[in-house]
């Protein structure tokens, strides 16, 4: 295909694992003229972003700021700043992103201790306790709060107590939960948590919000040797965001504008109302899917509201259904990763995309496509509307 001089991407309804669509207010904010990173206004913008991110994370941590990079940059920054060569890290290994943590820890010379669970099940607190007792001295415990590859919501209850008993730091990946689920960093005693802007926060890809406890910040600042990465040295990031600007890197100003506007939208809606909206639309989708005769991959007690995994019926071509959704309806959903490749569809309802009209449109599209692909399904519209009728 030869691209025209004036590129105009088609509209897609992004109901996959991310990115999600972005509200018009956020897009308009991105169109504003850039300013220099030493402009006094940048200090004001940074302060407001920090304040709103603390609200989203549920924390009073002063070291709360966005890293310039995607969610994986947050993961890498968190791990390489916490783990020194030889340090053991207990890692929940129940999905694609837990596995990515293992790989990063290996690359920085740490010793990952994977805790396995089926891709569709959470890590249990008793598993973590047993691993800490077995391994002796451990530097930290790391879990994925919202495992994007499986649709599992990981409980954080009890992990702080385990970490305290074993002198460990607690690290949490909240890339797919922040803004759509309660994360509540201070209530759970989390030491390090990172996320991404392109999912339930409702901004474009390009920033990774992170928050560090004072204890973690002290650890990072007192390390005996310089971190092997200059760019991901969180002590330098914190210094930059603490109101002492210096040249660390050229910040992506338009992404800051976008994140600020997305966080303002979140604050206007209210966190509890936003969580309730994500829960209600998830429940409507599940009701519709099950009324059609499809099955969810994750048990009800462990399901994410933001990312729903639906089992692909026997004999149905995964790629063909996703291709038809995109071509005929302009809807993108995701396929499975790792051990779930070809076995599940991943349906994201995040940020502005978590709303009834999108749920009903997707159900109608599947009802149109699936019978011609060999799966005779019932109608899910009435079941979804039944959830909405309950208020």
What pTM, to 2 d.p., does this model score? 0.95
Digit-coded pLDDT (tens) for 363-384: 999 999 999 999 999 999 999 9
Residue 119 DSSP class? B
What single string gives the DSSP state of each residue in 43-85? HHHHHHHHHHHHHHHT---SEEEEEES-HHHHHHHHHHHHPPT
Task: Give the separation between CA 388 and CA 391, rounded to whole angstroms.
Answer: 5
Looking at residue 1, what is its pLDDT?
54
Cβ pair 243, 249 in contact under 8 A:
no
Q: What is the H or E stretch that residue 346 is in?
A: strand 344-348
Coil, strand or helix: which one is 224?
coil
Digit-coded pLDDT (tens) for 67-94: 999 999 999 999 999 999 999 999 999 9
Cβ pair 289, 362 in contact under 8 A:
no
Task: Give the separation between CA 42 and CA 37, rounded to whole angstroms.
Answer: 6
Q: 314 — phi, psi (to 5°)?
A: -55, 130
Minimal CA–CA distance to 278: which of 362, 183, 356? Answer: 356
Cβ pair 12, 330 in contact under 8 A:
yes
Digit-coded pLDDT (tens) for 16-69: 999 999 999 999 999 999 999 889 899 899 999 999 999 999 999 999 999 999
Residue 94 DSSP class? S
Coil, strand or helix: which one is 228?
coil
Task: Give the separation between CA 357 and CA 334, rounded to whole angstroms.
Answer: 19
Q: How many C-beta atoms lie closer than 10 Å to residue 211's C-beta?
A: 31
Q: How many C-beta atoms lie closer than 10 Å to residue 32's C-beta?
A: 12
Structure tokens at 359: 């749920």
Phi-psi region of 18 (alpha: psi -120 to 50; beta: other; left: phi over 0): left
Task: Give the separation between CA 22 and CA 6, rounded to whole angstroms.
Answer: 21
Looking at residue 256, what is its pLDDT?
97
Least confident of 9-13, 211-215, 264-268: 9-13
Digit-coded pLDDT (tens) for 321-343: 999 999 999 999 999 999 999 99
What single string gives the DSSP state of each residue in 158-170? THHHHHHHTT-EE
- Read off the pLDDT of each residue in 312-329 and give the average, rounded to a whole number: 97
Cβ pair 173, 39 in contact under 8 A:
no
The structure tokens 């390390």 sit at 223
- Answer yes or no: is pLDDT of 143 > 80: yes
Task: List the domains of the chain with CATH numbers.
Answer: 25-267 (3.40.640.10), 271-389 (3.90.1150.10)
Label residue 216 exposed, middle or buried (CB < 10 Å: 0-12, 13-18, 19+). Answer: buried
What single string gives the DSSP state of each residue in 263-326? HHHHHHH-HHHHHHHHHHHHHHHHHHHHHTT--BSS-GGGB-SSEEEEEPPTT--HHHHHHHHH
Handedness of CA 303, 170, 76, 262 (dihedral sign): positive
């Amino acid at each position: 295909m030869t691209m025209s001089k004036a590129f105009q991407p088609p509209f897609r309804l992004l109901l996959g694992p991310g990115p999600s669509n972005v509200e018009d207010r956020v897009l308009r904010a991105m169109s504003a003229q850039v300013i220099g990173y030493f402009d006094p206004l940048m200090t004001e913008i940074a302060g407001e972003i920090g304040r709103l991110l603390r609200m989203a994370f549920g924390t009073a941590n002063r070291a709360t700021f966005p890293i310039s990079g995607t969610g994986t940059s947050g993961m890498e920054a968190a791990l390489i700043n916490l783990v020194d060569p030889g340090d053991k890290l207990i890692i929940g290994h129940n999905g694609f992103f837990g596995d990515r943590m293992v790989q990063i820890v290996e690359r920085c010379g740490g010793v990952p201790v994977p805790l396995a669970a089926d891709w569709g099940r959470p890590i249990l607190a008793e598993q973590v306790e047993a691993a800490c007792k077995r391994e002796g001295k451990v530097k930290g415990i790391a879990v994925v709060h919202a495992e994007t590859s499986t649709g599992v919501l990981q409980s954080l209850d009890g992990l702080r107590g385990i970490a305290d008993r074993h002198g460990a730091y607690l690290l949490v990946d909240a890339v797919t939960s922040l803004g759509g689920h309660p994360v509540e960093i201070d209530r759970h005693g989390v030491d390090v948590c990172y996320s991404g802007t392109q999912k339930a926060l409702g901004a474009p890809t390009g920033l990774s919000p992170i928050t560090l406890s004072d204890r973690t910040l002290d650890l990072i600042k007192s390390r005996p040797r310089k971190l092997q990465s200059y760019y991901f040295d969180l002590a330098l990031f914190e210094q930059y965001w603490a109101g002492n600007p210096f040249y660390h890197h050229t910040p992506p100003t338009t992404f800051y504008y976008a994140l600020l506007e997305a966080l303002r939208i979140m604050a206007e809606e209210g966190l509890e109302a936003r969580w309730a909206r994500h829960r209600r639309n998830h429940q409507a989708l599940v009701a519709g899917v099950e009324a059609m005769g499809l099955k969810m991959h994750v048990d009800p007690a462990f399901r994410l509201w933001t990312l729903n995994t639906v089992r692909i019926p026997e004999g149905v071509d995964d790629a063909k259904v996703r291709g038809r959704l995109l071509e005929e309806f302009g809807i993108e959903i995701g396929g499975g990763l790792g051990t779930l490749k070809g076995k599940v569809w991943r349906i994201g309802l995040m940020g502005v995309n978590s709303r009834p009209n999108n749920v009903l449109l997707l159900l109608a599209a599947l009802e149109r496509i699936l019978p011609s692909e060999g799966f005779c399904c019932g109608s899910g519209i009435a079941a979804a509307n039944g959830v909405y009728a309950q208020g």
